Structure 1
Amino acid sequence: MLQVIRSAWPLLLGIILLMVGNGLQGSLMGIRGGIEQFSTIELSVITSAYFVGFLFGSRTAPGLIRRVGHVRVFAALGSFISAVLILYPTITEPWAWVLLRVLFGFSFSGVYVTAESWLNNSSTNENRGKALSLYMIVQMVGIMVSQALLNVADPAGYVLFVIPSVLVSLSFAPILLSVTPTPEFDTTKAMNLRALYNTSPTGIVGMFLMGFAFSALFGMASVYGTAAGMSVAEISIFVTAIFFGGLVLQFPIGWMSDRMDRRKLILFAGVGGALGSLLGLAFGGSFEMILVAGFILGGVSNPLYALIIAYTNDYLPRDDMAAASGALIFVNGLGAIAGPILTGWLMGNLGPPGFWVFLAANFTLFVAYVAYRMTQRVSLYEGEGDYDAVTYAPLTPSATPIAVEAAQEFYADNAPPEQDIAASQEERVDRQ
């Protein structure tokens, strides 16, 4: 871990500043939108627009980098981010915020792609797992720190938009002025969605539903807090609880995933998400219980993303692991786009409880599907007792194809021998 910090500290410092800026504006959108009297459905579309831009950016940024290089893409997209942050309080119209959020999501995705390719280049096969862990920790810490900044100024003014603009601008200095060489850049062609579904139906469906959950938690938590009458301080604590849960439970769940049937762990985590949602729905009037519900939901949602990737890889040959990353991210992105709109529609009809109803329905559907699939396929982890699952690598749902491909390289390097995987797959056939 110390070796990774020594070699990549400028990059990690830049990333944490980026995450502080992104986390601050993400929560600020819901609070300021409420002040501007945007409707819940308008705020949900604004939230969804970020994920539209992010998905589009994650698919086009690699081409931009290949054409003009890392440094130019990084600097250009960083300028767009700073400009968008300043424009938010200048043009307080829903349609304008939708367009700005698309551009913001696109730009941030491109910046992440660039930064993650540098991080992947600075790591080796021996320390790539540690680099991914450190990257995930930096992301989570950055978002949690950003929530405290919500309380330093009036959200009805300009200061809270200027702060993330400055932080994002400053984040480029340690990265661009470091001596880290520009990496070679290449991406793997994505696997066909049908082929991946045939290999792991749970992987595809699970990633889609986790896109629902993550976008609702990340994008709509502040909208819910505003609608529920929370103060700015309470909203900041609520969002912090969500990401703190993801940070605290990521590693215990990862540890368990390497030591038990991953399908059962996925099922148990989904049940935890459903119970956490019902807890928030039943005790929505208690701020303390809302914090507990947020901690539980964040604690299962973030690890589930990486857990589903690890589970999918258990059914893939080494050579197909990297190719599967693009398909998994695309499916997750589609869910992330739809999630806020469905949440906003429910909140528009049911009021603030619609936030919890959406999450409860999503996790219940997730649990039902995983339970159904457990009746259709013999477990890869039980029976002969001679199969070792691929090692778990921590990732967050905001990871771009570069970070996921880096994780896939880590999985491939730590996978059991190819012949063992093939033998396991031949012996464990579906029950039709």
Structure 2
Amino acid sequence: MIRKLLPISALLLGAGFLFFAGGINALILPVRGNMEGFSAFSLGLLGTGWAVGYVTGCVITPRFVAKVGHIRAFSVMAAFAAFAILASLLLISPFAWIPLRAISGFCFAGAAMIVESWLGERADANSRGRVFGIYTMVTLAATTSGQMVLPLGDSAGFLFFVLGAMFYCLALVPTAVSSSASPNPLAKVSLDIKGLWKNSPVAVFAVFMVGISNASFGTLAAVYADRIGLILTSVALFTSIPILTGALVQIPVGHFSDKMDRRKVLLAIALAAILVDLSFILLEPQSQLVNMILIGFFGAAIFSMYPVIVAHANDHASDGNFIQVSGGLLLVFGLGSIIGPLVSGFTMAQIGTSGLFMTSLGAHILIGLYTIWRIAQRAPVAAAEKGTYVSSPPARASTPETAAMQVE
């Protein structure tokens, strides 16, 4: 296996730099924006801007790469991502940060697609699953590390904006010096709501709601933690622990998902998420320990929903259509991600910090109710016809190329 990893080690290093920078970028903006007195609604719009850019990047990048090539396209993405975070340092205003965050989302999606395409091309059929697993570990570790560096310096200064830009630039080095041939064209997906709905209504509805919930948390978790009085180290932990617990529970969730009706597994996860939502709303915990325990359970729930939904949709997909189904669901998730931070930011501005989990609560209740109704309407997929559950990184870090790596 080591011999197989050596040829892609540079690409994995580039991915690590990219996601490390992304982790810094994702956390420094809400932390610094909250310090500057930005409203919760304005900070929520940062998440909306990111989602708009990310979805657009997933759609447009394949055409851009086809015209200029993988290396040039990746260099452009890294350059503009570095520009966006540095411009955010110079223009400290929500009116500037929202479109700059959209640029970041576009560039991050494009860069991730190119790296994943390259990895998929360099891995053979026997090692693809292991390569995907290692890639997922690298991206999760890099994202978490990027968030955890914030307590090491002054968020009120320029350090983390510059550091993020530096690592965006470092990310382009492995691809720029690569002597290997460019991989095949990137996976193209289109948003066919009618086709996706016909394939699996519960998957479309649930993934849209998960987009609302997860993007709300991803955008405003740091704001919530800061406003309840947690110190910066705890704020970073509050945003990082859910990613790690979400990754850890995917093995047992996947086991049960393969053994029983995936919709029942989704329902159980939604009920668990509802309990955690209510705990935050009713208890209003101030203790650091209680917050960390609850947010760990929250992450385990919200970050395990997406792969269950995709696996269920793929159980109903025709042969050869898995990438289109998975990619289409990713775009539906993106649409929910556009709406979620907008709603949660407005709710937090109106009723306070609990507005974040009230938004999630509404989304999770709707997932549970609709899943119950669909279970009553449609028989489960026969065990012999089910595909295999595949662990996934958080959907905000997934692209159509992620789906291609999983199913090829």
The reply to whether TM is greater than 0.5 is yes
Secondary structure, counterpart of 1:285 in structure 2: coil
Mapped pair 1:400 → 2:399 = yes
Cα displacement string for residues 379-424 of structure 1 (whole angstroms, at most 9, x for unaligned residues): 114xxxx624201112220211111133233xxxxxxxxxxxxxxx
For residues 176 and 194 of structure 1, do their structure 2 counterparts lie closer, same or farther at Cα, with a shift above 3 Å needed? same
Q: How many residues align?
A: 405
**Equivalent position of 2:176 in the other structure:** 176
**CA–CA separation in structure 2 for the residues paired with 1:3 and 1:312:** 35
Amino acid of the structure 2 residue aligned with 1:107: C
**CA–CA separation in structure 2 for the residues paired with 1:326 and 1:118:** 18
Q: Which moved more, 1:146-155 or 1:67-76?
A: 146-155
> 1:140-289 maps to which residues of 2 (within 5 A)?
140-190=140-190, 192-281=192-281, 282-289=283-290
Q: Relative contact order (C-alpha < 8 Å, sep 6+): which is higher?
A: 2
Amino acid of the structure 2 residue aligned with 1:127: S
Q: Give how far 1:260 is off.
A: 2.3
**Equivalent position of 1:35 in the other structure:** 35
For residues 124 and 87 of structure 1, do their structure 2 counterparts lie closer, same or farther at Cα, with a shift above 3 Å needed? same
Secondary structure, counterpart of 1:319 in structure 2: coil
Mapped pair 1:356 → 2:357 = yes
**Equivalent position of 2:309 in the other structure:** 308
**Equivalent position of 2:346 in the other structure:** 345
Cα displacement string for residues 281-331 of structure 1 (whole angstroms, at most 9, x for unaligned residues): 224222222212221222122222111111101111112222223321211
Secondary structure, counterpart of 1:306 in structure 2: helix
Secondary structure, counterpart of 1:387 in structure 2: helix
**Equivalent position of 1:67 in the other structure:** 67
Amino acid of the structure 1 residue aligned with 2:400: P
**Equivalent position of 1:23 in the other structure:** 23
Contact in 1 for aligned 2:276/2:294 (Cα 8 Å)? yes
For residues 131 and 73 of structure 1, do their structure 2 counterparts lie closer, same or farther at Cα, with a shift above 3 Å needed? same
Q: Scaled by the length of structure 2, what TM-score is found?
A: 0.95
Q: Which moved more, 1:11-20 or 1:181-190?
A: 181-190
Amino acid of the structure 1 residue aligned with 2:143: I
Secondary structure, counterpart of 1:258 in structure 2: helix
**Equivalent position of 1:368 in the other structure:** 369
Q: Which consecutive aligned stretches of 4+ in structure 1 deviate over 4 angstroms post-superposition?
A: 1-4
**Equivalent position of 1:417 in the other structure:** none
Cα displacement string for residues 160-215 of structure 1 (whole angstroms, at most 9, x for unaligned residues): 11111111111222233234431011434547321220120011111101111221
> 1:95-174 maps to which residues of 2 (within 5 A)?
95-174=95-174
**CA–CA separation in structure 2 for the residues paired with 1:190 and 1:284:** 43
Q: Scaled by the length of structure 1, what TM-score is found?
A: 0.90
**Equivalent position of 2:333 in the other structure:** 332
Which sections of structure 1, spanning at least 5 residues, go unmatched?
A: 410-432
Q: Which moved more, 1:174-183 or 1:230-239?
A: 174-183
**CA–CA separation in structure 2 for the residues paired with 1:22 and 1:149:** 12
Cα displacement string for residues 356-379 of structure 1 (whole angstroms, at most 9, x for unaligned residues): 111122111111111111111111
**Equivalent position of 2:90 in the other structure:** 90
**Equivalent position of 1:57 in the other structure:** 57
Secondary structure, counterpart of 1:151 in structure 2: helix
Q: Give how far 1:229 is off.
A: 2.5
CA RMSD of aligned residues (A): 1.7
Amino acid of the structure 1 residue aligned with 2:389: Y
Contact in 2 for aligned 1:77/1:111 (Cα 8 Å)? yes
Q: Give how far 1:226 is off.
A: 2.3
Which sections of structure 2, spanning at least 5 residues, go unmatched?
A: none
Q: Give how far 1:52 is off.
A: 0.7
Q: Which moved more, 1:34-43 or 1:314-323?
A: 314-323
Q: Give how far 1:126 is off.
A: 2.2
Secondary structure, counterpart of 2:125 in structure 1: coil
Cα displacement string for residues 78-102 of structure 1 (whole angstroms, at most 9, x for unaligned residues): 1111111111121111111111111
Work out the percentage of aligned pairs sharing the same amino acid.
26
Contact in 1 for aligned 2:46/2:219 (Cα 8 Å)? no
